[in-house]
Amino acid sequence: MTAKRKPSSRRKATSRVKSPKPLAKRFIGHALPGIKPGELTGRLIVIEGADGSGRSTQIRRLVDWLEAGGHATTQVGLKRSNLASEELESAKNGNILNRTTLSLFYATDFADQLENIIIPSLRAGVIVLADRYIYTLMARDMVRGLDADWVKNLYSIAIQPDAVFYLKLPPEKLIQRNFMKNHTLDYWESGMDLGLSLDMFDSFVQYQQLMVDKFDEYRRRWGFTTIDAGQSTDALNRALRGKIERVLG
């Protein structure tokens, strides 16, 4: 007689995929008083890139996609604070701001949004989509020759994003897109205050190349994800969705 095998007492382990818990938020420098990073359970996703890179179009599409999937979202960006946006826009129109005043204006605009929109939204578990963030502001300040330690300290209150996607496009293509959209070039986005060139076209290309170089440096330092902004709008959106899905788990 052959002995019967006893049923194995081992059970096959069932694999369960768990969504990763949001990492506790960290500040670029010092945490703001009274803010507990563990309470900020939302996600902060930043889309960086120059004017003409397709940022705003992509953010609109991402908002529709995220909200259709049941995610609450809110948006922030440059010159959107209730405190300083109108005054900043008015001051820029005169083309007379010096580099320090310009920097402090934008820092005030950011700080107001951080306190009144970004932190409350993250505390409520909302996905915050930033149409540019402190990296653009810091790059601009550095290109304009402000002290690196001073600039870093100015934005030390900022929360480190869960992901930063930099839409990269050569200056020569940026100039084409800006002309197609606005039929002109912006004084500040052309770096005309820096005296790079008397010709606005040439100044635009030089200034935007300086910004590209600074963002390449930031990418290595902070681990940005660089995406080719020269591809079609649909292809770019698919690429962003795939990367954001991984961020959200």
DSSP tag of 30: S
* Count of C-beta atoms within a 10 Å radius of residue 219: 17
pLDDT higher at 36 or 244: 244
Which residue bears the tokens 């002290």? 147
Rounded to a whole number of angstroms, the distance between the first and last alpha carbons of the chain is: 55
Determine which of 54-63, 177-186, 188-197, 231-240 has the lowest per-residue pLDDT on average.
177-186
Separation between Cα atoms, residue 121 and residue 113, nearest integer Å: 11
Separation between Cα atoms, residue 87 and residue 90, nearest integer Å: 5
Q: Is the pLDDT of residue 146 over 70?
A: yes
Locate all alpha helices (DSSP H) within the chain, ordered by sequence: 55-68, 85-93, 99-113, 119-123, 134-143, 148-154, 171-182, 200-222, 233-248
Separation between Cα atoms, residue 240 and residue 49, nearest integer Å: 14
Task: State the chain's mean pLDDT as an integer.
Answer: 88
Instruction: Kindly report the CATH number that applies to the domain delimited by 37-248.
Output: 3.40.50.300
Asked if residues 42 and 168 have their Cβ atoms less than 8 Å apart, the reply is no
Asked if residues 28 and 157 have their Cβ atoms less than 8 Å apart, the reply is yes
Q: Which are the contacts of 207, defined by CB distance < 8 A and separation ≥ 6?
A: 143, 189, 190, 191, 194, 196
pLDDT bucket at 23, cuts 50 / 70 / 90: low
Separation between Cα atoms, residue 96 and residue 33, nearest integer Å: 35
Closest C-alpha among 105, 37, 42 to residue 73: 42
Q: Where are the beta strands (DSSP E) in 70-126?
A: 73-77
Residue 22: predicted pLDDT: 55
Q: Report domain extents, the chain.
A: 37-248
DSSP tag of 161: P
Tokens found for residue 171: 């200056």
* Count of C-beta atoms within a 10 Å radius of residue 119: 21
Determine which of 17-21, 66-70, 127-131, 195-199 has the lowest per-residue pLDDT on average.
17-21
Closest C-alpha among 186, 244, 182, 191 to residue 213: 191
- pLDDT tens per residue across span 73-116: 999 999 999 999 888 888 888 777 899 999 999 999 999 999 99
Separation between Cα atoms, residue 47 and residue 30, nearest integer Å: 23
Residue 21: predicted pLDDT: 55
Q: Is the pLDDT of residue 1 over 50?
A: no
Amino acid of residue 201: F
Amino acid of residue 100: T
Q: Which are the contacts of 63, defined by CB distance < 8 A and separation ≥ 6?
A: 73, 75, 129
Average pLDDT over every residue of 195-202: 95
Asked if residues 25 and 37 have their Cβ atoms less than 8 Å apart, the reply is yes
DSSP tag of 26: -
